[in-house]
Amino acid sequence: MTVDAIVIGAGFAGLYAVHRCVSEGLTVLGIEAAPSVGGTWDWNRYPGARCDVESVDYSYSFDEDLQSNWTWTERFAGQPEILAYLDHVADRFDLRRHYEFDTEVVGARFDVGEWVVQTSAGERRGRYLLCATGCLSTLNRPAIAGLTDFAGQVYYTAAWPREDPDLRGKKIGVIGTGSSGIQVVPILAAQAESLVVFQRSPNYTVPMPNHPWSEDDLQRIRQEYPDRRTRSAYAPAGTPHGTYHKSALETEPEEREEALWRRWRDGGVLFSKTFPDQTSVLAANDIARQFAEDRIRDIVIDPEVADDLIPTDHPIGTKRICTDAGYYDTFNRDTFRLVNLRREPIEAITTNGVRTASASYACDVLVFATGFDALTGAMTRIDPVGPGGDRLSEIWADGPVTFLGVMAPRLPNLFSFSGPGSPSVLANMVLHAEVQVDWAVDLMVAARHRGITEVEPRRDAARAWTDHVAEAAERTLFLKAQSSWYLGANIDGKKRVFMPYAGGFGNYRKYLDDAALMGYPGLVLTAR
Distance of CA 282 to the CA centre of its chain: 25
Gap between the Cα atoms of 277 and 256, Å rounded: 13
Any contact of residue 176 with ligand NAP (CB under 6 A)? yes
Options 36-44, 224-232, 306-314, 505-513: segment touching ligand FAD (CB under 6 A): 36-44
In this structure, what are the phi and psi dihedrals at residue 6, rounded to the nearest 5 degrees?
-105, 130
Please, which residue, 46 or 336, has the CB nearer to ligand FAD?
46
Q: Which does 10 bind (CB under 5 to 8 A by kind): ligand NAP, ligand FAD, none?
A: ligand FAD
Any contact of residue 119 with ligand NAP (CB under 6 A)? no
* Binding-site string for ligand NAP from residue 29 to residue 68, where x marks contact by CB under 6 A and - marks none: ---------------------xxx----------------
Shortest Å, Cβ 96 to ligand NAP: 26
Beta carbons within 10 angstroms of residue 9's beta carbon: 29
Gap between the Cα atoms of 82 and 191, Å rounded: 24
Q: Classify residue 74 by its DSSP letter.
A: B
Amino acid in position 455: V
Any contact of residue 239 with ligand NAP (CB under 6 A)? no
Q: Classify residue 411 by its DSSP letter.
A: -
- Specify the 3-state DSSP secondary structure of 403: strand
Distance of CA 509 to the CA centre of its chain: 18
Any contact of residue 177 with ligand NAP (CB under 6 A)? yes
Any contact of residue 373 with ligand FAD (CB under 6 A)? no
Q: Which does 320 bind (CB under 5 to 8 A by kind): ligand FAD, ligand NAP, none?
A: ligand NAP
Any contact of residue 10 with ligand FAD (CB under 6 A)? yes
Bridge partners for 336 per DSSP? 195
Among positions 14, 134, 173, 178, the unique one binding ligand NAP when judged by CB under 6 A: 178
* Binding-site string for ligand NAP from residue 332 to residue 351, where x marks contact by CB under 6 A and - marks none: ---------x----------
Residues in 376-395 at the binding interface with ligand FAD, rule: CB under 6 A: 378, 382
Gap between the Cα atoms of 309 and 314, Å rounded: 13
Beta carbons within 10 angstroms of residue 348's beta carbon: 14
- Specify the 3-state DSSP secondary structure of 168: coil
Please, what is the angle between helix 12-23 and helix 79-92, to 10°? 10
Among positions 177, 428, 466, 476, the unique one binding ligand FAD when judged by CB under 6 A: 428
Options 174-182, 251-259, 468-476, 507-515: segment touching ligand NAP (CB under 6 A): 174-182
Please, which residue, 55 or 413, has the CB nearer to ligand FAD?
55
Q: Which does 285 bind (CB under 5 to 8 A by kind): ligand NAP, ligand FAD, none?
A: none
Any contact of residue 321 with ligand NAP (CB under 6 A)? no
Shortest Å, Cβ 191 to ligand FAD: 19
Gap between the Cα atoms of 70 and 67, Å rounded: 6
C-alpha distance from residue 526 to each of 39, 113, 116, 128, 451 (Å): 34, 11, 19, 14, 9
Q: Which does 176 bind (CB under 5 to 8 A by kind): ligand NAP, ligand FAD, none?
A: ligand NAP
Beta carbons within 10 angstroms of residue 95's beta carbon: 23
65 contacts 35 by C-beta, under 8 angstroms: no
Bridge partners for 2 per DSSP? 125
Q: Which does 417 bind (CB under 5 to 8 A by kind): ligand FAD, ligand NAP, none?
A: ligand FAD
Residues with Cβ within 8 Å of 513's Cβ and at least 6 positions away in sequence, in order, are: none
**Which residues of the chain form contacts with ligand NAP (CB under 6 A)?**
50-52, 136, 142, 144, 175-181, 183, 198, 200-201, 320, 322-323, 341, 369-372, 425, 483, 485, 490
Residues that bind ligand FAD (CB under 6 A): 8-14, 31-34, 39-40, 44, 49, 51-53, 58, 104-105, 132-137, 158, 180, 378, 382, 417-418, 428-429, 433
